[in-house]
Amino acid sequence: MSDTTDDMEAGAFELEYAMERRERQLKHTSDRYTWTIKDGNRILIKSMTDTHLINALRMIERRAKKDFYQMIESGNKMLDFIQGEEAINSIEGGLENMITDGEPDIYDVACYEGRVAYMLKVLEKRGLQL
């Protein structure tokens, strides 16, 4: 074999080893520190580009707002079928609280979603804002 072939084989081996190492690292990394991209692969949040990080956070916020309105709609539909004063009062009270609190923003989501909180910390460390 020539030196060039040996170098190519060594380079391919090193690349394969690095990819396997990264895969093992992702398997042992908490979901809190990873993001699943469109093709289903996971990447480390800290390795996301600034644009990708900001777009991911905006997407999460849009979904939270969509879920918020779907929950209000579902609660209102439930009022048509629910019987019993206590049950009706409970649903009405929950809807009233949701409406009073208003649409969620990304910081509301971060309170109960560790991954979002971590993403916001990475954003802040980079000196970026949404």
Per the prediction, the chain carries an average pLDDT of 84
Same domain as 126, residue 62? yes
- Contact at 8 Å (CB) between 82 and 71? no
Residues 39 and 68 in one domain: no
Provide the residue range defining the domain that includes 38.
1-45
Q: Which of 28, 45, 67, 65 is nearest to 117 (CA)?
A: 45
The alpha carbon torsion through 18, 24, 29, 33 (nearest 10 deg) reads 40
Task: Say whether both 58 and 113 belong to one domain.
Answer: yes
CB 102 within 8 A of CB 126: no
pLDDT at 10 over 80: no
Single pTM value for the model: 0.69
- How many domains does the structure of the chain reveal? 2
Can you tell me whether residue 126 is helix, strand or coil?
coil
Residues 59 and 108 occupy one common structural domain: yes
pLDDT band at 106; cut points 50, 70, 90: confident
Largest CA distance in the chain: 86
Distance CA 1, CA 12 (A): 16
Within this chain, do residues 35 and 67 fall inside the same structural domain, yes or no?
no
Instruction: Work out the pLDDT band at 96, boundaries 50, 70, 90.
Output: very high
Short-list 110, 112, 118, CA closest to 30: 118
What does the alpha-carbon distance between residue 43 and residue 40 come to, in Å, rounded to a whole number? Answer: 10
Do residues 24 and 88 both lie within one domain?
Answer: no
**Would you place residue 105 in the very low, low, confident or very high pLDDT band (cuts 50, 70, 90)?**
confident
